[in-house]
Amino acid sequence: MSDLVVVGLGYVGLPLVAEACRAGLQVTGLDVSPRVVEGLNAGRSHVDDLSDEQVGAMLAAGFTATSDASCVAEADAVVICVPTPLSADGGPDLAAVESACRGIGPHLGPGTLVVLESTTYPGTTAEVVRPLLEELSGLGPDELPLAYSPERIDPGNPTYGLKNTPKVVGADDPAAQERARAFYAQVVDTVVVARGTREAESAKLLENTYRHVNIALVNEMVRFFHELDIDFWEVIRLASTKPFGFQAFTPGPGVGGHCIPIDPNYLSHRVRTQLGYGFRFVELAQEINSSMPAYVVSRVTALLNDQEKAVRGSTVLLLGVTYKPDIADQRESPALDVAKRLLQLGARVEYHDPHVEHWDVAGTVRADDDVLAAVGRADVTVLLQHHAEYDVAALEQSAACLLDTRGRTTGEKAHRL
Q: Find the CATH number of the domain harbouring 127.
A: 3.40.50.720
Task: Let me know if residue 141 belongs to a domain.
Answer: yes
Q: Please report, in tens digits, the pLDDT of each residue of the chain (417 residues total).
A: 789 999 999 999 999 999 999 999 999 999 999 999 999 999 999 998 899 999 999 999 999 999 999 999 999 999 999 999 888 777 789 999 999 999 999 999 999 999 999 999 999 999 999 999 999 999 999 999 999 999 998 888 889 999 999 999 999 999 999 999 999 999 999 999 999 999 999 999 999 999 999 999 999 999 999 999 999 999 999 999 999 999 999 999 999 877 777 777 777 878 888 888 888 898 999 999 999 999 999 999 999 999 999 999 999 999 999 999 998 888 889 999 999 999 999 999 999 999 998 898 888 989 877 899 999 999 999 999 999 999 999 999 999 999 999 999 988 889 998
**C-alpha–C-alpha distance, residues 62 and 5, integer Å:** 12
Task: Let me know if residue 126 belongs to a domain.
Answer: yes
Q: What is the pTM of this model?
A: 0.91
**Residue 18 shares a structural domain with residue 167:** yes
Among the candidates 196, 217, 232, a domain finishes at 196
Compute the C-alpha angle 85/88/94, nearest 5°: 40
Task: Let me know if residue 55 belongs to a domain.
Answer: yes
How many domains does the chain divide into?
2
Among the candidates 196, 216, 235, a domain finishes at 196
**C-alpha–C-alpha distance, residues 199 and 30, integer Å:** 28
Please give the order of strands across the beta sheet that includes 365-366: 365-366, 348-352, 315-319, 380-383, 402-404, 415-416
- CA nearest to 334, candidates 349, 318, 350, 348: 318
DSSP class of residue 262 equals T
Give catalytic residue positions. Answer: 259
Q: Treating both helix axes as pointing N-terminal to C-terminal, what angle do 280-290 and 197-227 enclose, rounded to 10 degrees?
A: 50
Structural domain boundaries enclosing 106: 4-196
Among the candidates 133, 166, 196, a domain finishes at 196
